[in-house]
Amino acid sequence: MINKKLKELIYNDEDRIIKQRREIHQNPELAMEEIKTNDYIKKELESYGLEVKQLEPTGLIAEINPDSDGKTVLLRADFDALPIEETNDFDFKSKNPGKSHACGHDTHTAMLLAATRALIEIKDELPGTVRLLFQPGEETGDGGKAVVKQGVTKGVDSGFAIHIHTAFPLGYAATGYGETMAGNYFFEVNFKGKSAHGSTPYLGHDAIMMVNTFINEANAAMARKVDALNNPIVLNYGVISGGSVANAVASDAKLTASFRFFSNDAADEFLKELKRIADFSADMYGGSVEFNYNQGAGPVINEENSTDTAVKVAKEIFGEDKVMTDLKVAGSEDFGLLLAGFEDYEAMPGTYMAVGAKNPDDPSTFPVNHSQDFNPDESAFKNGALLLAQYAYDFLNEN
């Protein structure tokens, strides 16, 4: 059952939620560069009487009831923006050219600040600790790695994060059990060959043919070596460059690509296969190759007990028939690094949920996340804040 005081506090705070979101929206900063946003959040948290721990290079942790002997629940909001020029014309549009909050992280921050204020007011009703994580760099995955390395998941019994989404209607929420969102890897393949005149290609080592062979073989591996039903992988080639003139064999060629996955083991095997294919492709044409990769995000794997709590709370807020529980998408979210673990750092159980913000009566809210004119319906924010706060309340009181 929704805590009446929590709901009253947050609903009465709606104007402030919207105001703070707009302030953050006007001043977007890119991943791991969010200095002013970081300072804004820190000042807010300190004004609530909380002790704030500064993470590096940006990011913040604060706790409600830090000395409790009970369990610990973590609530997370990201606060980085995207390198996208905003085309909206409202008075709180981005002031920073080429940067905008086109994915709603400004809303996440405002909602978690509101949830924090409300939870502080009822802290005597919380038989445990609420750890508040304001995380940088979600869009690149660097933020998730940084905060995990700095120990934010240690001792956490359940973590919860939400994401505002205009892919879902206003008044709806969506989540899944187990594998819910994909992890992703970025990789770059640099082939080195030998230049020759276009009239005598046999005297050279064609780097473009190496790239061509790599793509063909990688596609074949996708078709014949990937379990598309149980461990699907989505491969995308993003950038190809090579050569300099039309009448010469290319001595250099580069491919930049990415793939998405739901199983860490399957991803590890596919990386090995891609490296093998790269070596084969270079060897076929007498060249050499350098293969580099970087994990962006881990798969979001929602733990059952945490997801049960999130679904129960969401149904109480939005309605029994307005919460989808079978979400599974190939999009990525670096909250998965906190849930699935990163390298040898400690993971935590938890869950992740999307909150709808597409108003069917307002076409301005239709553009999807990462659009230049992204504009989620602001009436969604109070329920997002309540969802965060009530999740913490329920998890601590029921576990």
Backbone phi, psi, residue 385, to 5°: -65, -40
| 165 appears as a binding residue in the annotation | no
**Whole-angstrom distance between the N-terminal and C-terminal Cα of the chain?**
15
Q: Given its phi and psi angles, is residue 363 left (phi above 0), alpha (psi -120 to 50 degrees) or beta? A: alpha
Residue type, 77: A
| 163 appears as a binding residue in the annotation | yes
Q: Please, what sign has the CA dihedral across residues 381, 386, 391, 393? A: positive
| 303 appears as a binding residue in the annotation | no
| 105 appears as a binding residue in the annotation | yes
| In contact, 290 and 190? CB cutoff 8 Å | yes
| 139 appears as a binding residue in the annotation | yes
Taking the mean position of all CA atoms in its chain, how far away is CA 319? 26
Q: Residue 345 to residues 78, 245, 348: CA-CA distances in angstroms? A: 20, 48, 10
Contacts of 116 (CB under 8 A, 6+ apart): 45, 48, 50, 62, 64, 132
Q: What is the largest CA-CA distance in the chain?
A: 82
Q: What token pair was written down for 347?
A: 């993971």
Q: What is the DSSP string of 140-173?
A: TSHHHHHHHHTTTTTT-SEEEEEEEEEEEETT-E
Helix (H, G, I), strand (E, B) or coil at 227: coil
Q: Residue positions in the annotated binding site?
A: 103, 105, 139, 163, 370
Q: Residue positions in the annotated binding site for Mn(2+)?
A: 103, 105, 139, 163, 370
